[in-house]
Chains A and B, each alone.
Chain A
Amino acid sequence: MSRRPVHVKINGVEREGYVEPRKTLVDFIREDLELTGTHVGCEHGVCGACTVLLDGEAVRSCLMFAVQAEGCEIRTIEGMAGPDGQLHPLQEAFRDNHSFQCGFCTPGFMMTAAALLEEGPLSEEDLRHELSGNLCRCTGYQSIVAGVMDAFGRSTPAAGQAADAATEAAR
């Protein structure tokens, strides 16, 4: 099958590949770019394990072809920590709240949550709705919700108070 070039900027680095048009974005990221932090859980867009940020939006990389990402900016879990290894507040919050066990779904939750952080704090109920596109089989979700709520507070102190207020208001 013929191949086509694909150029992306992933975690700040320009990369190119040469792929069959039928190759999914997640397979391109994992196999061609060798960034295996993004996981494949269902290949039909339900579990959210393959979620990445594409031009800032959380998308399922199993439901896109690599060639559709031509020229796009992609962020994956490998791009969350700083270049010095300093964890992102979201990573710290996940760690401190025991927000994962086996860790297979974690990259997807992390990228979904990263997009949510950009939009500002949510009430716990709204957050649960926002996270309902990602499946976790280990935790029962409570610790993931706690982790993201905590991260809302860590990004800026004001955001934390707003999150508390939003939760309070929802109750």
Chain B
Amino acid sequence: MRFVGESVTRVEDRRILTGRGRYIDDVKLPGMLHAAFLRSPFAHARITELEIGEAQKLPGVVAVLTGADIEAATVPIQVMAQFPDFKSPAYLAMATDRVRFVGDLVAIVVAESRYVAEDALELINVEYDPMRPIVSFDDAQDSTAPAIFDDIADNVLYRSTSTHGDVDAAFAAADTVIEETFTQSRQANVPMETRGAVADFDPGTGDLTYYAATQSPQGCRFQLATYLDHPIDRVRVLSGDVGGAFGLKGPVHREDISLAAASRIIGRPIKWIEDRNEHLQASGHAREEQMQVEAAVTSDGRLLGLRARLLIDQGAFPCLPYAAVLFPNMIRDLLPGPYRFGAMQFEGLVLATNKCWVPPYRGPWEIETWVRERLMDVVARRLGMDPAELRRKNMFDGAEEDRSISGQHLAGITSRESLERALGRIDYGSLRSEQEAARAEGRLLGVGIATFLEAAPGPKENRMFPEDAKVRLESNGHLLVMTPQGPHGQGHETTLAQIAADAMGLPLDHVRVVHGDTRQTPMNLIGTGGSRASTWASGSVMVTTRKVREKALGIASAMLEIDAGDLDIIDGMVVPAGAPAKAMPLAAIAMTAYLAPESLPPGTDNHLEAQETFTGDGIGGSGWSGGTHLCVVEIDQDTGRVRILRYIVVEDCGQIINPAIVEGQIRGGVAQGIAGVLYEKAAYDEEGQFMAGTFMDYLLPTATEIPHIEIDHIESVPVEGLDIRGVGEGGAIVAPAALTNAIEDALLPFGVTVNEQYLPPGRILELTGAIPA
């Protein structure tokens, strides 16, 4: 391998650096109109009157469509109805008689410009009859409260329960039982590019071309075809550069379906680009979850048992297609992490509320790490143990027989190595002495440790969803690699080219990675998400390129009359072993195959194209990404400001394709994790009114808030086969745990337990007693 492992310059860079990226708002079609949505100002209300006449009369307005118009043109949405025990409500792309969150869709205006469309929104008259909003975890579990959906009796949409081992015996044997309730606030993905699309229905051909900013072009096509009841062969999705997503643009949004329906009704292309206010209130939120835990422990720090009850606020509508019902069992499986628990009981609920829906956000199972790692610190403190010591004592080594209480096979994990390396890197012993000295001076210095595991791709027994790639050797000897991935910053045009160039034996610039055109790429509903690209897309590109290589060598063998086994491809040249002078450019072989196939011996396969499925066969190593983060903070007692003095990452994602990209993923994730603790909250008031509609309310961190992040790679060597593991979510998953642990440690002199994840300065001052809670 020559390119894998190198921080080669990204293929994407030049166009982005010169302003020639093609993001969704850069698409401009002849005759294109512009859309704006009218959104509900109420969390929960009946629509008693909807008057669009004045808006229709405004010059420049082409159409005003209501929920009833869109209902007539679409199929009701029902997500994951087959998921066992999930009460999946049917809902519409736009509201008709009732709105269910602030930002719900009431009407769509299509006009000559976005300016005019927004003018027209103000001329639409809607009368609402407000209903009791379901806002809190308690409201949602109150069986006397109004149900948000007519076809579901209450607002508990899903309940999962399971028991692993003898939980009662574990608690009976415990020296101490520790109970805590840990709560996360609402956050949001907030990519710098908001949502948007251009829907282009051609009344002549019946083709719907949908220009999307999506993580999954094929998934988008499939859902549009389904909910528009449009033949899928006549739906084409095109996606260019995507300005960030973090999970948000994997789903297909109700706006997508409404916009496509509007284009089909009107018969013209329509662009919709969301503004930031719409984005913050209505695109998607995340992480509003709570977990009640009880831990049964011995006085010497053994973890006998765990009881956990999880609540997930999924907002009003189950997200399409990744409803929050997917998360509880993932959280259950990962909750014990790399530690031995003797027994575990788990209950997980998904609740409907009158708030924005909840798409995946960078590791949507993140609460398992936050709660577990918080709990480890709380237990250590109650027992008078050092938190690193408690972790050491209970951590699996990654032996072949190691299996967590939730059943996860942990052979080969490197959690212990990551913990020791992180502690060593910071000189943990000296740091604790330094902390003692600081405390003696009245300074609030804290240290937080957190360890995580991510199933990317996961252990052999629970790998799912194979993926295809399509590869073609062109007549000039260059390779075209077609992937169903929907990159949005991860640089797949580069990393997949690195994989293909090595697998084929080509210079990097002889490989072109194509994505975002569903007429060319293989089918795959998921696209980019869940760290699948590094393993599944890479694997599919590798096996498919090998197939094309085999075909090319077959043709070369016929042309050179040398056995294919004695041929190699080096730098785009087919080179016979021991006879370099007879080397022939791959282009000559390809040209013959395309232009003179009749010159080849009968029976030679002259098709230099392949599509292969990567099933996970050949993946070596543990399948677990993971690592340990260590964070040192100092808190200003007067202002409540948390300053991060050191942030250390030790991670293991197996073989690294491109170190610069891996480190970029880690740092970006850590920044989001830090932000969720110190800055970001998608706040609602008790009426369900959204309170964070601008960047002055929803605070993204800037260059002054995110610290220097030090990274150390373990890169555990695969025993055999492909061992590339995902690294997209790790930073975001574990950073909140490392940081909140450090904050609680800093606040030790006040004897407080940190059981909320969101800790802005005001909350810190409440915890220290500087201001009343």
Shortest distance between the CB of B278 and any CB in chain A (Å): 11
Alpha-carbon distance A103/B489, docked complex (angstroms):
7
Size bin of chain B's contact surface: 35 or more
- Once the chains bind, are A139 and B667 in contact (CB under 8 Å)? yes
- Once the chains bind, are A140 and B489 in contact (CB under 8 Å)? no
Contacts A131-B703, A141-B706 given; 5 further ones with Cβ under 8 A?
A30-B26, A80-B19, A87-B14, A95-B17, A110-B17
Q: A36-B19, A44-B276, A103-B12 are in contact. Are A140 and B668 (CB under 8 A)?
A: yes
Q: Which of B43-99 contact A (CB under 8 A)?
A: none
Q: A77-B18, A102-B192, A107-B19 are in contact. Are A131 and B664 (CB under 8 A)?
A: no
A contact residues around B670 at 8 Å (CB): 140
Residue in chain A with minimal CB distance to B18 = A81
Alpha-carbon distance A41/B275, docked complex (angstroms):
8
Alpha-carbon distance A129/B703, docked complex (angstroms):
7
* A138 contact from B7, B14, B489, Cβ within 8 A: B489
A-B pairs with beta carbons under 8 Å apart, 16 shown: A41-B194, A47-B192, A78-B19, A81-B17, A87-B17, A98-B664, A102-B242, A103-B12, A103-B16, A104-B193, A106-B17, A135-B702, A136-B192, A138-B244, A140-B670, A140-B709
Bits for B254-287, please: 1 = Cβ < 8 Å to A, else 0. 0000000000000000000101100000000000
Q: A103-B489, A139-B668 are in contact. Are A91 and B703 (CB under 8 A)?
A: no
A contact residues around B191 at 8 Å (CB): 102, 104, 137
A contact residues around B12 at 8 Å (CB): 103
Q: Does A94 contact B (CB under 8 A)?
A: yes
- Once the chains bind, are A102 and B241 in contact (CB under 8 Å)? yes
Binding site secondary structure of chain A: loop
Alpha-carbon distance A40/B304, docked complex (angstroms):
54
- Once the chains bind, are A101 and B490 in contact (CB under 8 Å)? yes
* A102 contact from B193, B703, B709, Cβ within 8 A: B193
Pick the interface stretch among B170-178, B366-374, B692-700. B692-700
Q: Which of B392-439 contact A (CB under 8 A)?
A: none
Q: Which of A14-55 contact B (CB under 8 A)?
A: 20, 22-23, 30, 34-44, 46-47, 49
- Once the chains bind, are A104 and B703 in contact (CB under 8 Å)? no
- Once the chains bind, are A44 and B695 in contact (CB under 8 Å)? yes
B contact residues around A144 at 8 Å (CB): 703
Alpha-carbon distance A144/B244, docked complex (angstroms):
16
* B700 contact from A96, A131, A137, Cβ within 8 A: A137
Residues of A within 8 A of B (CB): 20, 22-23, 30, 34-44, 46-47, 49, 76-78, 80-81, 87, 91, 94-96, 98, 100-107, 110, 127-129, 131-145
Alpha-carbon distance A28/B491, docked complex (angstroms):
31
* B115 contact from A20, A34, A140, A141, Cβ within 8 A: A20
Alpha-carbon distance A37/B660, docked complex (angstroms):
24
Q: Does B243 contact A (CB under 8 A)?
A: yes
- Which of B190, B194, B243, B700 has its CB near the most chain A CB atoms (within 10 A)? B243
Shortest distance between the CB of B37 and any CB in chain A (Å): 16
Binding site secondary structure of chain B: loop
Q: Does B13 contact A (CB under 8 A)?
A: yes
* B667 contact from A46, A80, A102, A140, Cβ within 8 A: A140
Alpha-carbon distance A141/B702, docked complex (angstroms):
8
Alpha-carbon distance A102/B660, docked complex (angstroms):
14
Bits for B226-252, please: 1 = Cβ < 8 Å to A, else 0. 000000000000000111101000000
Q: Does B21 contact A (CB under 8 A)?
A: yes
- Once the chains bind, are A80 and B18 in contact (CB under 8 Å)? yes
- Once the chains bind, are A98 and B10 in contact (CB under 8 Å)? yes
Residue in chain A with minimal CB distance to B705 = A132
Alpha-carbon distance A134/B668, docked complex (angstroms):
15
A contact residues around B462 at 8 Å (CB): none
Q: Does B568 contact A (CB under 8 A)?
A: no
Shortest distance between the CB of B274 and any CB in chain A (Å): 11
Shortest distance between the CB of B36 and any CB in chain A (Å): 13
Bits for B172-198, please: 1 = Cβ < 8 Å to A, else 0. 000000000000000000111110000
Q: Does B162 contact A (CB under 8 A)?
A: no
- Once the chains bind, are A132 and B704 in contact (CB under 8 Å)? yes
Bits for B635-675, please: 1 = Cβ < 8 Å to A, else 0. 00000000000000000000000001101100111111000
B contact residues around A35 at 8 Å (CB): 19
B contact residues around A39 at 8 Å (CB): 23, 25, 192-193, 243
Leading 7 A-B pairs by shortest Cβ distance = A37-B19, A104-B243, A102-B489, A101-B489, A103-B16, A140-B671, A140-B667
Alpha-carbon distance A34/B19, docked complex (angstroms):
11
B contact residues around A132 at 8 Å (CB): 702-704
